[in-house]
């Protein structure tokens, strides 16, 4: 289930092609949770969470979690061709 925090980043699904599970992981990252905590909360194993985190970084074109936060803080880029 997505939290209110993740609802604010639902635009990441369209902008970067994040899956529902990746959005859940992002939501937990925004709550400053570790991979171990995220795994426990989402009933996953830690390596699975690490794979989701790697996919998130890859799709967003960043190298680390700080990059993920930067993308989220700067928000969606408006479509200038619309």
Residue 59: burial class (beta carbons within 10 Å; 0-12, 13-18, 19+)? middle
Looking at residue 39, what is its pLDDT?
98
Looking at residue 76, what is its pLDDT?
74
- Of the chain, the end-to-end C-alpha distance in Å amounts to 32
Give CA–CA dist 50/46, Å, rounded: 6
Average pLDDT per block of 10 residues along the chain, 82 residues long = 54 93 95 97 98 97 95 74 52
Structural class in CATH, domain 4-74: mainly alpha
What are the residue ranges spanned by the domains of the chain? 4-74
């Amino acid at each position: 289930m997505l939290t209110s925090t993740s609802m604010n980043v639902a635009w990441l699904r369209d902008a970067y092609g994040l899956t529902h599970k990746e959005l859940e992981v992002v939501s937990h990252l925004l709550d400053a949770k570790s991979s171990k905590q995220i795994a426990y909360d989402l009933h996953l194993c830690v390596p699975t969470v690490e794979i989701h985190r790697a996919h998130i970084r890859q799709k967003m074109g960043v190298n680390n979690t700080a990059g993920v936060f930067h993308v989220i803080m700067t928000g969606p880029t408006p479509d200038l061709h619309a």
